[in-house]
Structure 1
Amino acid sequence: MTIWQKLLMPAMTDAMLKGGLAEVGGPVVRAADVAGVRPAELVRAYGLGGEGLVFPEAPEYVDVLLFEQRPLMRFETPSDIGERPWPTYEAGFLRGPVRAPVWLLARTRVPSGSTIQRLHADGRTEQLAAFGSPAKGWTGATGYYPPLHIIGPRAKWRGHDLPADFLPNDQPGVELVWIGDDGVPEGFEQIRPMIHRRLAPFGECDEIFEVVVTASHRGVPVRVLQQAGDEALLLLENPSWSQVEKLQPGPVEPGYFELTAPSVELESVRSVANVWAPEP
């Protein structure tokens, strides 16, 4: 099983540790390819260290997310998308002394068993938090956010469409999450207030899949992350600078932005279900 590493922006670490955010996407590398790389070399390799950039030239530490590759994750090699005011890794590798291959991971839910590690300049590694599961959330974090966004695995189970997560350590099953206290099916265990879960073998599920919803907002391609009431949370991935100026979204990390917009303003809405086919 491949272990991946995601360099976390400081705001992303805060969102995970304080708000319980459990999502990952954007540039990632294989952890083995950057083992032992110190913070200063790592931020230089990403093109994000120095005056006016995300990190100082020689940070005392950086935080990374370590996670296992799971079914339904979608990786792409970077391509030349034209000039952008942030690194795009169009050559397919990090920069400078760390010539590690880099992939772009489509936004998904953090898988169970993932950890947030703090890499110190003196070579020490400190674990800040561990992700138990979508129902349990982060151990070591002060907040929790339920799996409400339209990302990550889902399962059709006895007529219900539920957030799901593949069990770690190659266990043949999924965690199913029921949000709310009304109509909780038999066999679900309460983990948190209004959060219940069931560990189900694959054979109990009619289908395991991920839904990807895309649309156009004011002529700009977006991915729909959540729809609540009359508003939608939207993601822009490596847009042009003119598109950023047009929509004025908030930055998540270099090249990735989010904004909330009225659902009625979305056009060309398209929903695709990527279905997991288990190996015989």
Structure 2
Amino acid sequence: MPEPVVLQKLLTGAVAAAIVEAGSDHVGGYVTLASEVASLRTPRQLLAAYGVDGAPEFADVVRFEQPRLATLARPGPAERPWQTFPSGFLLGDSLARVWVMGRTRYSYGAEYWRIRADGEQKCLSNYAGVARGWAGARQWRPPSPIVGTMARWRGGEFFADVRADLVLLSAITGDGPSGFEQVRPGAWVSTVPASECEIFERVFTAEVDGVPVRLLRRSASQARVLLLSDDPAEAEGIGATLVEPGVYEAIVETSRLANTQGVENQLTGAAE
């Protein structure tokens, strides 16, 4: 089995707060290979590589294995109010490649690190899967079935954290399936061989006033959507908020969704 690819994501204040305060398990946007930014050992060095001036006391990052079924794309060439990395590399001498990762769920074992101005690095939290979430987070947020890996196993459908040749299945329900361990009220887990599972991810897209979006969560009346465009004018037109450079989200009435479509991406080789 090949060595896992370990990525690093620089966190904005809002994204860091979403993890610490609300236990957010979503990840996407700009990512790099952790090994290629290892030489950026202070907040000043790291931020400079992203085109940001300043020397804060600390900077926060998450290091995580590339999630199964995650998509990586080269940054686009369009000029934006933020640094866009059209060359495909961060700025400066690190020669670190940078990609835009499509929205997914953090992989099991993701680590939240704080890099201080004196070069000290400390792991503040780790992600223990769908049912347990981020260690020490003030809240646990139930996962979305339309972001991140799922699994079919013995006729049932579960949230899935893929760990090498094993899968940690999570059931979010009042009564857990037979043989599952309860880890919090309404959340149950069981570890099974990956060879017994069908691993997949559902992606739903739509349009809001002509702007392409991806659905992140949906209820009968509202939907949280991720814009599939980073055009500030289009974002403003539908009332979207910039949550980090290049990433806009909005909460819209479901009546505004048009041309909704869904695809199911399969993880090949998981059941071999």
Is the shorter-chain TM-score for this pair beyond 0.5, marking a shared fold? yes
Q: SS at the partner of 1:73?
A: coil
Residue 179 of structure 1 is matched in structure 2 by 172
State whether residues 237 and 255 of structure 1, in contact with CA within 8 Å, keep that contact through their aligned partners in structure 2: no
What is the CA–CA distance in structure 2 between the aligned matches of 1:203 and 1:2, rounded to whole Å?
21
What is the CA–CA distance in structure 2 between the aligned matches of 1:149 and 1:8, rounded to whole Å?
24
Q: SS at the partner of 1:133?
A: coil
What is the CA–CA distance in structure 1 between the aligned matches of 2:185 and 2:134, rounded to whole Å?
15
What is the CA–CA distance in structure 1 between the aligned matches of 2:232 and 2:241, rounded to whole Å?
13
Give the 3 Å change call, closer, same or farther, for CA 128–237 of structure 1 in structure 2. Answer: farther
Identity of aligned residues (%): 39
What amino acid is the match of 1:173? L
What is the CA–CA distance in structure 1 between the aligned matches of 2:21 and 2:34, rounded to whole Å?
25
Q: Quick one: which of 61, 65, 69 aligns to 1:64?
A: 61
Output the aligned Cα RMSD.
1.5
TM-score normalised to structure 2 length: 0.93
Residue 12 of structure 2 is matched in structure 1 by 9
Displacement of 1:102 in angstroms is 0.4
State whether residues 174 and 199 of structure 1, in contact with CA within 8 Å, keep that contact through their aligned partners in structure 2: yes
**Bigger shift: 23-32 or 82-91?**
82-91
Runs of 4+ in 1 over 6 A off after TM superposition: none
Residue 164 of structure 1 is matched in structure 2 by 160
What is the CA–CA distance in structure 2 between the aligned matches of 1:70 and 1:28, rounded to whole Å?
12
Displacement of 1:138 in angstroms is 1.1
Residue 268 of structure 1 is matched in structure 2 by 259
Unaligned runs of 5+ in 1: 51-56
**Bigger shift: 158-167 or 210-219?**
158-167
State whether residues 211 and 273 of structure 1, in contact with CA within 8 Å, keep that contact through their aligned partners in structure 2: yes
What is the CA–CA distance in structure 2 between the aligned matches of 1:266 and 1:237, rounded to whole Å?
14
Q: How does 1:11-50 map to 2 (within 5 A)?
A: 11-37=14-40, 38-47=42-51, 49-50=52-53
Q: SS at the partner of 2:203?
A: strand
Q: SS at the partner of 1:64?
A: strand
Give the 3 Å change call, closer, same or farther, for CA 238–120 of structure 1 in structure 2. Answer: farther
What is the CA–CA distance in structure 2 between the aligned matches of 1:92 and 1:268, rounded to whole Å?
32
TM-score normalised to structure 1 length: 0.91
What amino acid is the match of 1:247? I
What amino acid is the match of 1:95? L
